[in-house]
Amino acid sequence: MNFKVGDTAAITKTITDADIHTFADLIGDHNSVHLDDEFAARTRFGRRIAHGMLGASLISAALGEKLPGRGTVYLSQTFKFLAPVYPGDQITARVTVLKVREDKNILTLETVCEKESGEQVIMGEAVVLLDEPRP
């Protein structure tokens, strides 16, 4: 395992209306705050918002595709949802190594999602296992 404290990687995606509808269908969460413009306009957000876990799923993508990459298995993840994500927002999920446990191939990482403006929308911590394929 060749990771050190401070290693970082990120993935960026614009959250589209289609993403929100697909995610709703995939997980079965058809909450009106995500899908109904008229309903959502009367909420504190003033318009539709993306599912919190849609934004958070970008963290999983960063872990599995960037750092540590293929073979990554979640052991735990915490989230704090700080601000809404709206259709059209560009979100960057960033993961940064906080702790390396070489004897078990385990990493602890800070996980953050932020808008293009720099506003943090999600923060947390992940613990992952790097399960490398056997020969």
Residue 132 has pLDDT above 90, yes or no: no
Q: What residues contact residue 33 under an 8 Å CB cut-off, 6+ apart?
A: 39, 40, 43, 45, 48, 49
Q: Tokens 């705050």 identify what position?
A: 33
Q: Convert the pLDDT of each residue in 89-126 to its tens digit.
A: 999 999 999 999 999 999 999 999 999 999 999 999 99
User: Which domains, from first to last, does the chain contain?
Assistant: 8-16+50-130 (3.10.129.10)
Q: pLDDT band for position 1 (50/70/90)?
A: confident
Cβ neighbours, 10 Å, residue 107: 26
End-to-end CA distance of the chain: 16
- Per-residue pLDDT at 44: 96
Q: Convert the pLDDT of each residue in 23-34 to its tens digit.
A: 999 999 999 999
- Per-residue pLDDT at 114: 98
- Per-residue pLDDT at 131: 82
